[in-house]
Amino acid sequence: MDTLASPPSLTYEGMYEQFHKLIYHIAYNITKDLHLSQDIVQETFLKAYLKIDTLLDVTKTKSWLTSIARCTAIDVIRKRSKCQEVFMEDQEELHSIQDYQSLESVIEVRFLKSCIQDHIKTLPRTQQEVMALKVTEDMSDSEIALKLNLSASTVKTRFHRGRKQLYSVIYTKVSA
């Protein structure tokens, strides 16, 4: 009496022991990354464990696993490239926001300087000189003192008084 030979039984551990090196090589050939390849081996065998019931012919285990490994490696590469694209887009967006903000701040500074220069003209003449040199020409107190033949403390006093007056004028205009 001839009986059909039953297919060899396949355990998960046996499958791992027999094919893990092959799966690693497939993953490494696709990714060229040691650690990523190790992750792909783990993911491949996890997928195989979860889908072992779809393997109808145990004699085709090798091709079944290599197919899973290739697909997994390709998926990982795609995910990584998408993440890098998103990261690059985020970087570009961040740069454009920073460029916009820096442009906006430059415009604000120019506007503020222009506004201050207009209001400097309303100050007493002694404060106008100090404020104009300090704000428009960006001179230090000692440079202004030298240029106007004043003491450094007089320059500071005139600047602080002028600034206080400018602040009150501009603040009342803004809040009005």
How far is the C-alpha of 105 from the C-alpha of 117, rounded, in Å?
Answer: 18
How high is the pLDDT of residue 149? 92
pLDDT tens digits, one per residue of 126-166: 888 888 888 777 788 889 899 889 998 998 998 888 888 87
Residue 79: alpha-carbon gap to chain centroid: 18
User: In the chain, how many H helices and how many E strands?
Assistant: 6, 0
**55 three-state secondary structure:** coil
Q: What is the mean pLDDT of residues 65-70?
A: 91
pLDDT in tens, 97-119: 555 556 666 666 666 666 667 77
Place of tokens 């600034």: 163
